[in-house]
Structure 1
């Protein structure tokens, strides 16, 4: 009899964590394990890439009321979810004020899940051998799934996010295991939650190679990324504070001031889009910083760029950087806390300072050093970035006795 795994996540919109989820789904051996996938919302461009051997469970209306506009919840007449979300919002506002947390915190999302918990049904009647909660908050798998073992994933650098530590600890400690995507992510997590160190298992992101191979040669993008003699830089990510795209216009201006003709293309979407557009205007970089928007298939754009740049303020482990390395591009990242776990500086990528002027100078140094660029390209061809072997660590968690 096949052992049973449930994987719980939010939706399949375009994002690094969602592509890492595709990698996990691609790699699990479904001749040995029955895999059920539960998504709160059957939404997102990546839905159609869910492997056909994965059993996608039906959407449940109450779960679909999370992370959507509140007016939609009212329209759906899910009264319990209306009450839970309103109460969670009220409690979050008070908690943020009491703890004096920064505006960029995760308390509202966490409390939205916590206080709607009583109003959502069980996900399935099956007793699973392993249940995986892939994206935080991790409340529902604990209370609404029956499983012998439960594991929750960390995808971010916890030293850079303002949290309600007491509530987060109570959430995490209910799991048998906590999967961390890198050693530095682990380090920053246990600095905040030393009580949880014994639960941590290092399981790096598994890259979705079938998905990437299918799409990388999908179409040409020269009309959007003109081959006009400029050096084409590319960055991919949600338009949010963590990615630091709002500083790209000034970095690009500094590069031009240093005498290089670059065009910097941005793929993504998010709440900071208007801020980024305004920064482009303020820097006078309308011709040189180009927002391409949300792209279902980013891989032809990666193939067409000269250098991939990730200028983030913080990351867990950036999936887009790994994808650029798989496609054998020179990669430059900023020195965010977890950068050393992302690449080996000077070997398969370059780490530059986050300061605008120093970041620009570092990018210019790489562009001018053709020998270094070729070295970076050659070294990416020597590495296996897929991490497909990491699936064995999940299998071991199923087999081990607690």
Structure 2
């Protein structure tokens, strides 16, 4: 008899977590499992990529409020949710200012769920396993009946600010915790060592065949490929974590050193206007380009000369692995989980996490054709496919 599974996330907007969810849903054996999928909002550029296997349940109106403005929540009649969301916002801002942190958004999300949880409805269905794919995991922890509850970690816990007591309470209501890399697991367990026995690693599932097929779907005219020009590319949300402000400044230094480069960024996010301002102030309008949202980033990766990930922190950057699958020389900063992504000098250049490091890493690849060819040869010869990771999930469900 088939086991019944629930998988939950927020929506299918463009993002690494969402691409990873599509990868997971494509690998599940639907002859073996009945899968219900809860998306709090039925929207996002990746929605057309949703496979036919899972049964997408209807939206639950109260859960659609979590990325709406407080004014919109009030206009829709959810006054208590709006009031407690407002309280969460001000408490998280105060807490963040006091601790001088860069990411108070995590606190806002955490308190938003904690304060409004009692006003949110339960799901009536019962499951053999409930999987929360996107943090936080209040929904599967308290609103779903399941024999086993599994919560995913996609981020580096050493770089986010949370209320540890509230967070421990949430994780205490799941049976298994899945981190997407060993380093991601370590940063989590450094803060919550009591959860060691129920924490495991399952990497984001990537299909090289699918990525290569998607890379052939289009020929981007946005990339101005001319003779002698080096095309750099970064894919990611425009947030502090991605280090794109440092990227613009590194671009300026490379141009001043005489390098003919064009650096393109595929992605969107809250720092778009700030980045445009920096680009203008540094006079980089002819060298650094924000391309915005792209449902399929793979043709852009395929067309670039060097893929660069200048991040301050990552859980597991799917885009790095995708660039390697597409045979690109990769330059990444030494963020805390970088060594779980690549081997320095073999399938990437890992640079110090600053502007000077980014500049020298890119220079190294441009100036040394032998190094560049060796990196390309190594990534092309290595099998980055990990579809077998799905068996680890099966083991957790059936144990």
Give the alignment's TM-score, normalised by structure 2.
0.95
Match of 2:275 in 1: 276
Alignment of 1:207-356 (within 5 A): 207=206, 212-356=211-355
Q: 1:36 to 1:330 in 2, by over 3 A?
A: same
Checking the alignment, whether the CA contact within 8 Å between 2:155 and 2:315 is kept in structure 1 is yes
- In the TM superposition, residue 281 of structure 1 has moved relative to its aligned partner by 1.6
Work out whether residues 46 and 295 of structure 2, in 8 Å CA contact, stay in contact via their aligned partners in 1.
yes
The aligned counterpart of 2:356 is 357
Partners of 2:312 and 2:335 within 8 A in 1: yes
1:89 shift after superposition: 2.8
- SS of equivalent to 1:381: helix
User: What CA distance in whole angstroms lies between the structure 2 residues aligned with 1:386 and 1:159?
Assistant: 28
Q: Deviations over 1:19-62 (max 9, x none)?
A: 01111100010010011110111111001101011111111111
Q: Distance in 2 between matches of 1:28 and 1:330?
A: 32
Partner residue of 1:20?
20
Tell me, yes or no, if the aligned pair for 1:310 and 1:334 is still in contact at 8 Å. yes
Mapped to 2, the partners of 1:246 and 1:223 lie a distance apart of: 21
CA distance in 2, matches of 1:96, 1:112: 15
Tell me the equivalent position of 1:38.
Answer: 38
Does the 8 Å contact 1:19/1:208 carry over to 2?
A: no
Q: C-alpha distance in 2, partners of 1:211/1:78?
A: 42
Counterparts of 2:149 and 2:267, CA distance in 1: 32
What is the TM-score with the length of structure 1 in the denominator?
Answer: 0.95
Q: Which residue of 2 aligns with 1:82?
A: 82
Unpaired segments ≥5 residues, structure 2 = none
1:395 and 1:13 map into 2 onto residues whose CA distance is 27
Describe the SS at the equivalent of 1:116. Answer: helix
Query: What secondary structure, in the 3-state scheme, does the structure 2 residue paired with 1:159 have?
Result: helix
Secondary structure of 1:301's aligned partner: helix
Instruction: Tell me if structure 1 keeps the 8 A contact 2:233–2:304.
Output: yes
Q: SS of the residue aligned with 2:67?
A: coil
1:63/1:265 CA distance change after superposition, 3 Å: same
Deviation at 1:82, TM superposition (A): 2.0
Q: Which moved more, 1:164-173 or 1:7-16?
A: 164-173
Question: For the Cα contact (< 8 Å) 1:267–1:292, is it kept in 2?
Answer: yes
CA offset at residue 381 of structure 1? 2.2
**Alignment check: 8 A CA contact 2:142 2:173 kept:** no
Question: Which residue number in structure 2 is paired with residue 70 of structure 1?
Answer: 70
- Distance in 2 between residues matched to 1:56 and 1:213, nearest whole Å: 28
1:54 and 1:364 map into 2 onto residues whose CA distance is 46
Asked whether the 8 Å contact 2:36–2:57 carries over to 1, the reply is yes
Give how far 1:224 is off. 3.5
Counterpart CA distance in 2 for 1:55 and 1:210 is 25
Q: Distance in 2 between matches of 1:21 and 1:257?
A: 42
Matched with 1:178 is: 177
Q: CA-atom RMSD, angstroms? A: 1.6
Q: Which runs of 5+ in 1 are unaligned?
A: none
